[in-house]
Amino acid sequence: MTPTLGDPGFLLPERKARIDEVVAHRTRTLTVVMETLCDPQNVNAVLRTCEAFGIQGLHAIEGPMKRYDPNKKISQNADKWLDVRRWGSTRECLGFLKADGFRIYATHLGQDSVPLGDLSFAPKVALVFGNEHRGVSDEAAALADANFTIPMLGFVQSFNVSVAAAITLARAVERRVAERGRHGDLGEAEARALRERFYLLAVKQRTRIAKAERAEARRERHAKARGE
Amino acid sequence: MTPTLGDPGFLLPERKARIDEVVAHRTRTLTVVMETLCDPQNVNAVLRTCEAFGIQGLHAIEGPMKRYDPNKKISQNADKWLDVRRWGSTRECLGFLKADGFRIYATHLGQDSVPLGDLSFAPKVALVFGNEHRGVSDEAAALADANFTIPMLGFVQSFNVSVAAAITLARAVERRVAERGRHGDLGEAEARALRERFYLLAVKQRTRIAKAERAEARRERHAKARGE
């Protein structure tokens, strides 16, 4: 049977294998919470970093007027492959995660803060990164199971938020492998569902590219026909 | 003797102690080369990250028309505390570093690339990060003692350059402590010179702030005198 547009058979075997490999490294037991980030460049850099580290689900807590606005160039379309859930308040978001069994670790310098290296990633963990100017809210710091800092050796007081997320996730992935045996850990049914979803996304992408190529070829033929 | 403006005696003991602590964590045996980066936000994020990791000296290879342009807000004035040397070509910069005993590690995906985790930081190391669009040049990849990649688990093909620098430096500092016994390693004379330089910078900063405060107080007095 000839594969039709929209059919996963339309995908090259290499593309399918690549998707299967990515899904094998995906997890929902480590997640990231962006609390009222305001710079789209930062949001997109965090999305891109999360995607690269196999984080499937993220949470965006939005201020009264803020909606994150994915920039395709900076995120490298990373958001297309992720589940970003939007929340109206910190309380709702962290409450949901706690009820779902997540330990909450917030990047916050307080009296009881511990260095990143001391955190355990054996449990399900949600990492909270705060606003570029104000840091995490008092509410998030109070609701967190642990507040942590990334050790800094110089004069600057903080890392850029996407830098902080990257350093933290690199460490988290390493610790998860040491403490849980592996990082990617979707159940079989969930992995299958995600593969199917990614196949479809990839087919749509191919279809768009194929359409664009046909349109371009048409333009060229017409241009030739007009003797241009 | 009453301390005068420009005199390190003008500095609070806490500020001096902070400077001494930062200098104790500084190194010149690990350095970063930015090869024709084009986005000032990236350059400034890299500067800020380097400063936070105790890297004292950096190298900026500039394209024919490019000069890096520190943005005070993003770099958090990090460049003030750093030595950034500018170079007109990759060959000159890497040639200088090699002659100075540095091993060159470039972030580049090639046939002989190794994962970041396999790199040794026992020798003096220069880490080369390439242009946002083109990556490191063929010349840098060829001149490098090793090309390395940061393992990525998702669909996106690369990290943002400031994210890549941060993940690499976090790992480098950790490995240096394991392999060399410590990260900060300036010689006594060099540390003293750097402390003196930082004291002066801090005094200038205080002087600027004091001047601004006096000017503000003057404006307020004048405003009151005019009955505003």
The confidence band for B8, taking pLDDT boundaries of 50, 70 and 90, is low
- Nearest CB among A74, A154, A183 relative to B81 is that of A154
Orientation of helix A40-52 relative to helix A161-180, angle to 10°: 20
B162 touching chain A per CB within 8 A: yes
Which of B22, B53, B153 has the CB atom closest to A25's CB atom?
B153
**Predicted pLDDT at A54:** 97
User: What's residue B68's pLDDT?
Assistant: 54
The DSSP-derived string for A130-157 is -BTTTBS-HHHHHH-SEEEE----SS--
Residues in chain B with CB shorter than 8 Å from the CB of A171 are: 170
Average pLDDT value over all residues in chain A: 89
**Whether A205 contacts chain B with CB within 8 A:** no
Q: Residue A185's pLDDT is what?
A: 97
**Rounded distance between C-alpha atoms, residue B98 and residue B79, angstroms:** 24
Residue pointed to by tokens 């941060």: B166
Mean pLDDT score, B142-171: 94
| A73 touches B: beta carbon within 8 Å | no
Q: What is the mean pLDDT of residues B171-189?
A: 97
Let me know if A124 is exposed, middle or buried by CB neighbors in 10 A (0-12, 13-18, 19+). Answer: middle
Q: What is the pLDDT of residue A76?
A: 58
Percentage of chain A beyond pLDDT 90 is 64
Strand runs labelled E in B150-226: none
B54, B25 contact by CB (below 8 A): yes
Amino acid symbol at A168: T
The answer, for A212 touching chain B at a CB cutoff of 8 Å, is no
CB contact under 8 Å between A154 and B76, yes or no, is: no
Confidence grade of residue A73 (pLDDT, cut at 50, 70, 90): low
On whether the CB atoms of residues A169 and A129 are closer than 8 A, the answer is no
Note whether B40 and B71 are within 8 A (CB): yes
Q: How close is the nearest chain B Cα to the Cα of A163, in Å?
A: 5
Q: Which of A156, A185, A198, A199 is the mutation pick for testing B, counting most B CBs within 10 A?
A: A156
In this prediction, residue A67 carries a pLDDT of 54
Mean pLDDT of all residues belonging to chain B: 89
Rounded mean pLDDT of B156-184? Answer: 95
Whether A74 has a pLDDT exceeding 60, the answer reads no
Highest mean pLDDT among A4-8, B27-31, B154-158: B27-31
Q: At what angle do helices A188-225 and A13-24 cross, to 10 degrees?
A: 140
pLDDT tens-digit readout, A20-39: 999 999 999 999 999 998 88
pLDDT at A95: 97
The C-alpha of A158 sits at a distance from chain B's nearest C-alpha, in angstroms, of 8
The H or E element containing residue B170 is: helix B161-180
CA B2 to chain centre: 35
pLDDT at A213: 83
Coil, strand or helix: which one is B25? coil
For residues B179 and B202, which has the higher predicted lDDT (pLDDT)? B179
Q: What pLDDT band is residue B157 in, cutting at 50, 70 and 90? A: confident
C-beta neighbour count of B120 within 10 angstroms: 12
CA–CA distance from B217 to each of B50, B151, B207, B213, B225 (Å)?
Answer: 38, 56, 15, 6, 12
Could you tell me the pLDDT band of residue A80, with boundaries at 50, 70 and 90?
confident
Q: What is the ipTM of this complex?
A: 0.82
- Count Cβ–Cβ pairs < 8 Å, chain A vs chain B: 108
Residue pLDDT, tens place only, B44-98: 889 999 999 999 999 999 865 455 555 555 555 677 899 999 999 999 999 999 9
- The per-residue pLDDT for A69 is 56
Higher-confidence position of A76 and B203: B203
The DSSP line for A5-25 is TT-GGGS-HHHHHHHHHHHHT
* pLDDT band (50, 70, 90) for residue A71: low
Model confidence at B39, pLDDT cuts 50, 70, 90, reads confident
CB < 8 Å to A178, chain B: none
Q: What pTM was estimated for this model as a whole?
A: 0.85
- Residues of B with Cβ-Cβ distance to A163 under 8 angstroms: 45, 48-49, 162-163, 166
Q: What is the pLDDT of residues B100-148, one digit of tens each?
A: 999 999 999 888 999 999 999 999 999 999 998 889 999 999 999 999 9
Name A148's Cβ contacts closer than 8 Å, sequence gap at least 6.
A105, A106, A107, A108, A113, A114, A115, A116, A118, A119
- What is each CA distance from A77 to A70, A73, A125, A163, in whole angstroms? 8, 7, 25, 19
Looking at CA atoms only, how far is residue A79 from chain B in angstroms?
Answer: 10
Report chain A residues whose CB lies below 8 A from the CB of B149: none
Contact across the interface for B48 and A74, Cβ inside 8 Å: no
- For residue A44, the chain B residue with the least C-alpha distance is B160
- pLDDT tens-digit readout, A125-183: 999 999 988 899 999 999 999 999 999 999 998 898 999 999 999 999 999 999 999 99
Q: What DSSP element (H or E) covers B35? A: strand B30-35
Which residue of A41, A155, A167 is in closest CB contact with B22?
A155
Residues above pLDDT 90, as percent of chain B: 64
- From its phi and psi, is residue B212 left (phi > 0), alpha (psi between -120 and 50) or beta? alpha
Q: What is the DSSP string of B89-117?
A: -HHHHHHHHHHTTPEEEEE---TT-EEGG
**CB within 8 Å: A52 and B156:** yes
